[in-house]
Amino acid sequence: MFRFIQHAAARSTKGKLVVIGLVAGAIVGLTATPATAAELSPTASPEPEFTLDSIDTAVAASGHLRAPAPSGLEAALTTAVSTKGTEAFVDRSLAFAENPSSHALSAVGKGFVDLSWAAIPGNDGYVVFRDGEQLTTTDTTSFRDLGASGSAHEYRISTSAPKSQSDWRPDEIEAVNAGSEAPRTGYNWVLFTQALDPGRKITDVAASTLAQTLATGASRILWSTFIASQYVDAPPVGCEYGSGYRFKGDNRSWIVPGQFTPGPYRVYTKAYVWWSHGPGSQMVGTDAGISATHVVNSAGTTVASRTATDWSAQTLQMSTENQVSMDIRTNFQARNPFCITGAIAGNYNATLTRAGSYAIGGEHRGAPNHEIYVYAETGLGSGPISTPSTAYRRAVVDFNCLIGAACPLQTIIAQGSY
C-alpha cells in the first residue's frame, strides 16, 4: 500500500492565485512511499472505452439525455456510445473544471466502470482505489473496473509529481539546499458512481441521476470555529484583561450532522454556489457571523463583552459560471476585540460539482476548534436536503497559535460526496 503524508499551501502572486497541487481542483501536497511489488498486485483489466480523449465522440454518438436540463448539465451527465458500440452513462462534471489538472470522468455500463483522469507530467504512477481498497497501479490515465457491484462506489486516483520550484516553501528551499530531494506535490481525483444493476437500462440511470442532481439548487460549505471548553484563560500580556481573567468559551463538541446547527461559535462562514440563481443574483457568495467575546473574573462574573468590528469573511468565484462545477476560494480573519495581537484565520480552495462531489484544500491557524461540512439545498437558504457530509474536523492545538508566527498552520484536506 502507499502511505500518504499530505500538506497544503496556497499563496497569491501579483493578484493571481497560485495553487500547489490539486484534489480534483483543491490544494494538496502529498509524499508517497512506494509499496513493494507483492503489495501492489495490479489487477488485469481490459482497455477502457470511455476516456477524456474519446468522450466527445462517444457522447455525440448517443445524443444527450432526453430529460430537460440547464445549459451545460446535460453534457456533463449523459449517455454515450463507444466506437465499439458499448453503451454507458457518463459523469464528466470534473471535466468542466477550470484547471486542466482537475479533469476526470467516470462511465458506468453493464458490468464495468471506466475511469479517466488528466495526465500529470513527471508522475510516479497512478494508484486506483475503490471504497478505500487499492485496485491497481498504472502508468496510463484510465482504468476499467470489472468488479464493481450494483451499488454506489467511491473511486480515488492518486499520484505525486515534482513541485514547481516557484512554489517551494521557505522550509523546502532550505531542505533542498541542505541536500534533500526536491519536494513533490500530490494529486487526487475522487469520483462517485453507481454500478449498473442487472436489468436496469442505462437511460434510466441517466435520467435518475439527472433528476437527483437537478434537486440540488444550491451547495454549501459551512466552516465553523468554536471554543470547546466553558472558559479559556486570558493570556498574561497582550490583552486588556490578563492573569486572573478568562474568556467564555462555547462549551460544546462537534456539530452532530443529524441535528445540524452552525453554533454556538466564535466565527463561521457559509460559502454557497447557487446553481439555480436568477437574473441579477450572485452564483457564488458567503454568509458569515461572529459572536461576542465575554470576559469573566475569577468568580465567574461577566465583567466585559465586546464584538469585533474589524473581522472579514469572503468567498470568491474562481472559475467561469456554469451549471456543472465551480471552483471557489473562501478566507476569513477575526481578532479578539480585547487583544492587540492574535486572530482566528484560515482559507481554502474548493471544487464543488452539482452532481454531489467536493474537494477542499487549505490551511488555518491552530486555534480554536475548526469544523467543515458540505451539504446540498433545494434552494438558497432552504436547509440541507439530507445529512451534511463531515469534511474536516481539527481540535485546538494551542491558543498561542492565534498568533500566526507561534505555530505551523494546520492543513485542510478533504474530498467526498454530499
Output the domain CATH number for residue 169. Answer: 2.60.40.10
Whether residues 51 and 196 fall in one domain:
yes
Whether residues 185 and 222 fall in one domain:
no
Whether residues 205 and 245 fall in one domain:
no
- Cα 73 from Cα 210, distance rounded (Å): 8
Domain-ending residue, one of 161, 195, 211: 211
Whether residues 41 and 174 fall in one domain:
yes
Q: Which of 14-23, 44-53, 119-128, 159-168 has the highest mean pLDDT?
A: 119-128
Whether residues 260 and 183 fall in one domain:
no
pLDDT digits (tens, 9 = 90+) for 208-266: 888 888 889 999 999 999 999 999 999 988 999 999 999 999 999 998 766 666 679 99
The C-alpha cell at 45 is 483489466
Least confident of 122-126, 301-305, 321-325, 398-402: 321-325
Q: Determine contact, residues 118/100, Cβ cutoff 8 Å.
A: yes
What pLDDT is recorded for position 320? 81
Residue 347 vs residue 257, higher pLDDT: 347
What pLDDT is recorded for position 260? 61
- Cα 344 from Cα 334, distance rounded (Å): 5
Domain-ending residue, one of 165, 191, 211: 211
Whether residues 155 and 10 fall in one domain:
yes
Whether residues 327 and 199 fall in one domain:
no
Q: How far is CA 121 from CA 105, 140, 148, 185, in A?
A: 19, 12, 30, 11
Whether residues 196 and 111 fall in one domain:
yes
- Residues 6 or more apart whose Cβ sits within 8 Å of residue 177: none
Residue 381 vs residue 240, higher pLDDT: 240
The C-alpha cell at 105 is 470522468
Residue 398 vs residue 14, higher pLDDT: 398
Q: Which residue's entry shows cell 452564483? A: 283
Q: Determine contact, residues 369/345, Cβ cutoff 8 Å.
A: no
Percentage, residues of the chain above pLDDT 90:
39
- Cα 293 from Cα 306, distance rounded (Å): 5
- Cα 54 from Cα 62, distance rounded (Å): 13
Whether residues 24 and 147 fall in one domain:
yes
Q: Determine contact, residues 116/129, Cβ cutoff 8 Å.
A: no
Number of domains in the chain: 2
Is-cis flag, bond preceding 198, omega within 30? no
Q: Which residue's entry shows cell 474568556? A: 247
Whether residues 298 and 358 fall in one domain:
yes
| 184-194 and 22-23 strand pairing | parallel
Q: Which residue's entry shows cell 472579514? A: 312
Whether residues 179 and 90 fall in one domain:
yes
Whether residues 207 and 247 fall in one domain:
no
Burial status of residue 51 (CB atoms within 10 A of its CB: 0-12, 13-18, 19 or more): buried
Q: Determine contact, residues 83/56, Cβ cutoff 8 Å.
A: no
**Domain housing 271:** 218-417
